[in-house]
Amino acid sequence: MEADFVIVGAGSAGCAMAYRLSQAGASVIVIEHGGTDAGPFIQMPAALSYPMNMARYDWGYRSEPEPHLNNRQLACPRGKVIGGSSSINGMVYVRGHAMDFDHWAEQGANGWGYADVLPYFKRMESWHDSGHGGDPDWRGRDGPLHVTRGPRHNPLFDAFVQAGNQAGYETTDDYNGQKQEGFGPMDQTVWRGRRWSAANAYLRPALKRDTCTLIRGLACRVVIKEGRAIGVEVQRKGSCEVIRARREVVLAASSINSPKLLMLSGIGPARHLAEHRIDVVADRPGVGGNLQDHLELYIQMAASQPVTLYKHWNLVSKAMIGAQWLLAKSGLGASNQFESAAFIRSRPGVPYPDIQYHFLPIAVRYDGKVAAEGHGFQAHVGPMRAKSRGRVSLRDADPAASPVIRFNYMSEASDWADFRTCIRLTREIFDQPAFAPYVNHEIQPGTDVQTDDELDAFIAEHAESAYHPCGTCRMGRVDDPDAVVDPEGRVIGVDGLRVADSSIFPRITNGNLNAPSIMVGEKVADHLLGRSLPAANDEPWIHPNWQIAQR
């Protein structure tokens, strides 16, 4: 078993690379531990809470007890299935802000500024405005990844945008276009009523080519000979074998599993590797470090009229929605129900948004546990650029063992201040006239939770991961001791080995991470092929009074 390129992980970036490399005539083998993504739980958008809670599709990782969050162990789902986390995520599509990528470049990821990555975002997209406005000049039209918008029939979606406007914030027709800041419609990776995962967009077309092969197995380590990666050791069908790469090995196994694989292969902090009796190939202290994520809270309101999705929260209605979706790929089952969004700034002097909202017309948790109150709605809110950093490390040298994941959430005082601001700004939005016909009272946190100490206690008990881990194989300059890969994704200190997934992000981007992860796969594929798209010169919108005004 050998190919020009061996990719570990059939997730967001891995599928995109398999498509582009095989399209260029190179032979590719993709190694994926998970199984098929067939079946309604994954393909039906409204069923999104199921696959991320099913052991069949999810690695089932949990953090270590988080000391600043009452020692809770937070869920850290990662897709163990064709399509990776793009097959179990919320299907929310956010590129990130232009200034996120300019910051990457400033941190040593040369060639990853916004002007460099925008052409890749355009190349990967087929954007469908479906009559809801938008910014067509900034979007792609003929890429493999279909991006659409929900129908926004529920009056609460519009009430959320109107309330933001009444509170003095910007509106935006397209947060993935020129102007991210403001309230407006949300994009989703849904096409013709189905989840449009990286598997549907990229891997299935790639596998129709003779040059692309998918192998099921558990990648154990990268085989390195005389300083060069020559293949991947895989456990499959009860035995161990090496799948060889004629040109390069690429790890696209997630921000949790890519650093784990590097460490199992002898690339990482030398002292940590020695603890597990792993021979050191390259002492890279940054492997597994720089772990970042978005935390969020659900601010929930009880509704005064039965306009929410709660009326469908029963077996009969769910069965009817499921039947309509199975027969026609239409109805409530054909949307993730995240159809309005916002990106705002927390205070004057912040140049671009640092708070994100997902609005949902039901009061429910990601794991499908509904609020006790009946009819209600909620905003998911959280800071975008927390200062806290964590680490992924090895539990032991057994490739089947789950790694140690310490996010170290809320370990910086500024993160608490940011979260308190999020809660107070959200309450102000729900207090606007647009919500007056719909609001009964606040379910969570509850109006008795007001002081800093009360809010902090609520945050410690209720903050949840938005499932956006990244940064654990940070991209940077070759002479940066904490960088793991160079600006072309090459692992520093080893030849023939790259990493391409959200682990290479120097810093977390605004919003959900599926879109930038796919972009990384697209761009690193070009680096592997020795080519690149010409830079763009589009100027993104920045609030003209950002230095003195919060809105």
Q: Which of 80, 82, 95, 10 is nearest to 43 (CA)?
A: 82
Mark whether 468 is an active-site residue: yes
d(CA 527, CA 525): 5
Residue 313 gets which letter from DSSP? -
Give the list of residues 6+ apart from residue 400 with CB closer than 8 angstroms, or none. 218
d(CA 483, CA 283): 11
* CB 288, CB 268: distance < 8 Å: yes
Binding site membership for FAD: which residues? 81, 89-92
Residue 523 gets which letter from DSSP? H
The active-site residue out of 103, 380, 468, 543 is 468
* CB 269, CB 285: distance < 8 Å: yes
Binding site membership: which residues? 81, 89-92
Beta-bridged to residue 76, according to DSSP, are 61
Burial of 431-447, coded b for 16+ CB within 10 Å and e otherwise, reads ebebbeebbeebbbbee
**Phi and psi torsions of 31, nearest 5°:** -105, 125
In SS3 terms, 432-465 reads as CHHHCCCEEEEEECCCCCCCHHHHHHHHHHHCEE
d(CA 126, CA 191): 10
Q: Which of 496, 490, 465 is nearest to 476 (CA)?
A: 490
CA terminus-to-terminus distance, the chain:
58
Within 277-339, strands assigned E span 282-283, 295-303
The CA-based angle 26-32-35, given to 5 degrees, is: 130
Beta-bridged to residue 382, according to DSSP, are 356
Q: Residue 68 has which token pair?
A: 């600043």
Residues with a catalytic annotation lie at 468
